[in-house]
Structure 1
Amino acid sequence: MHIQSVMIVPLAARKRTLGALTIISAESGRRYEADDLEVANILGRRAALALDNARMYELEQQARAQSEEAQRRAELLAEATTQLSASLDYPTTLSNVSRLIVPTYADFCIVLLSDGQRLRQVAAAHRDEQQQRLLDELPKHYETTLTNPLSLASTVWRTGDAMLLRELPAPARAEVARSGDAARIVAALAAQSSIIVPLNTSVRTLGVISFSYAESGRQYREADMPFAKELAACAALAIEHARLFKEAQTLNAELEQRVAERTAQLQRANEDLRNLAAHLQTTREQERTNLARELHDELGQILTVIKIEATQLSKRVAQVLEALNYPPEQLLEPLHLIQANVDEGVRAVRQIITQMRPEFLEDLGLKAAIEWQLQQFQSRTGIETQFSSNVEQLQWDQERATAMFRILQESLTNVARHAEATRVDVSLRREPEYLLLEVHDNGRGISNTEMHKSSHFGIMGMRERAILLGGEIQIAGAQGGGTSLLVRVPH
């Protein structure tokens, strides 16, 4: 190749140089002039801007993914806390929580409790039904002692420190190799990455809980540890709560004073669980607010600047091309596409911000936020909504108003998913001592069996929010007559 002429221009955008664009004339024999260099500079700036916009879009996607992941984990932790505080039958409760964790946070989950000599499996859940049978079979062939130096679970129990295994080493399986059946099961489970966390209370370590990824190919990171530790802390508190209550039930009449002391401990432990649930709800709302604020202040401003600069660039390119008598359509079309993509990004960011932190709730209060939510619900689902209220002014703090608003959101979600309704009536009424929120749909009506299913975490979550407000929720349904939800909280 006989090079006749070369142009090299920088790929620069927003005061950053991303690379260089090289244009070569060879067989054509053309020699580049100053006008050609100007066009090359324009192409370089356009290409650099496109590359930088792609980078910003990728950052926006990552921010959205992180936000959604944080929200999912916060909701999962809140649901797990509700489950743990809902029953004193801790083997069943731990089994329910294990199934709740899988497959969102693990391919399989195992809970081991100490009996003083060994760690015994009390709950396990796997995303695959066939593998679940293997998990249930494992305790028949293998249980580790508390002093076993080769057992990772025993090591975590003895030290009280969580262990992160990004890639599970071969020695981790060596300790069970002596048992053919146990080795077969461990090999079939094929754990690739694990987190093992002790179930610590203030006075002792009750056992361990392990989370593992296998066939999904996912891998745990250091960022996964806080969630695992907080979940383990909730489980340990619930187990200790249940154990203390069982001990209190078995004491005889000669130990009445001891029973009273233990009962007081249980009451304090129960209050701790309630306080923890309240803290988790507050933390989730704070995280939503913080994420919404960061998206608005950082990403929103960046997208706005990109839009302004893209518009200005379009005008400058058009002017240059017009001066060169060069048809502008082909060069301007990608810039217009960039502007459209930026507009879509701005709309997506605003939608995420609105979902995380409804502005109506902060600026205009609960009544206006309910009206706005019903308009959004009707627009999204096509289900007709009606709202009535005798509330003019409501002097509520943001935390209480947010809790009531989240109850409404969850009830509307249930209507959209399950009710098969065409109309929803919502009322907000003030009584001398209480504020009443009522939601009624004309759908198929919830049954008593559905209402009390342990898997209905949405209903449990609404009840928990109402309890934290010092109120209660009543749910009633009739076949073909719709479902009514009444929230009564003191104001």
Structure 2
Amino acid sequence: MFVHSISNIDKNAERESIPASFSSNSLGSEEGGSGIEDQNTQEELLRKISILNLLQQVASSANEANDVDSILQFSIDRICAIGNWKLGQVYLLQEEDESLSLSPICYCEENPSLKKFRRSLGQKGSIFSEKVQRERKPIWFTKIATSLEEGSRDLSLQAEIESAFALPILVRENLVGVLEFFSESRTPDPSFLEAITHISSLIGRVFERQDAENSLKNSQEQLRALSARLQEVREEERLLVAREIHDELGQLLTVLKIDITLLKNNIQKKDPEAFELFSDIRSMIKVADTAIESVQRIATELRPLILEDLGLVEGIEWYSRDFQKRTGIICDLRIRTENLPSEKEYSIAIFRIFQEALTNVARHAKANRIQVSLEEEPSLLLLRIEDNGVGMGQDRWKNHKSLGLIGMRERAVVLGGELTVLSKEGEGTSVVVRIPLRSSGLMEDRS
């Protein structure tokens, strides 16, 4: 086997002698010879144009490709078609053991021996690609039959394969794969091999871009999982604090109020004329009542126990009434759903989205009416909150500093859904949340 590094290919390599039947004497005249030279020149020009078109097509495809497989298949097909090569295939590096694995991506002529030859390389491995893997450079191999094992050698002879060309696919000097081609031609075309080498670097950029996209996607998934976990921890802490405030502090204040009331009654029996003292005690009772109401309100805001005890629908109904009472904003509620998931995470996430949306209306919208609907669509739960307020520009609700909207959107995404904000200045705002009804699998994946 003869091996050439592409950088060492002799552009003036000696070609096989021209058969006698095509000698100048047999052509008949100088004019005939000139015609053949013109034809050869024209064919060479067309070939160079084809190579330039190939580079342009691959460069364009590399910029538009969404996945590596499509650009690999396109490049292999076009290279073999222009080079008139019999077989083109791809080996991809396996990260586990740094070995090369034959990919299904290939171009192969309709030749039984050629297909068997490809299968044998897949089973036994390719000495050509392995050499390129070690040396990290393009190599042209000639008289390859002398280097193959008996079975593969016979198949290569039957398929009339004389030469092979293999070149690495590199990403930041790291090998990710090898392109391998087989031809019946013994003499390489340096300009064509140089073009293929350039194509290999274009493919390497697609690999690099895909790696960057995968890394970004993984980072986003990790951040989303972290955000979801932080939400869970916060809800757990809220529930714990709410119960402690409601059960401990609430009970102490209730006992304090009872003791003050008993004290008032006892004093009233002993000294009915102590009006000033009675006034002070009544003030103390009012303070105790206010404190008890504050404790109940704080505990409810931290984690509505009605949500814990009765469920999402009842929680939304209660919060709508409470919101209308506190803000004076009319809240029209329409609920048409019967198949809500039972998971607490599901109910809590939807309730918090609803709660945050109403809070935003109270703070920013200057609205006097809100319409809330909770409905089922095929396989989806649809929550819609619309107000008749001042609205807001796109730059505001898409602002990355709008932490409330970001939190609402993240809660929806964790459940496998999406949140959309529709708003124009002076025309109110609509928040639409679409969440799959079957989201328990997403919850399990996240945990």
TM-score (norm 2): 0.50
Q: Which has the higher contact order (CA 8 A, sep 6+)?
A: 2
TM-score (norm 1): 0.45
Structure exhibiting the larger radius of gyration computed from Cα positions: 2
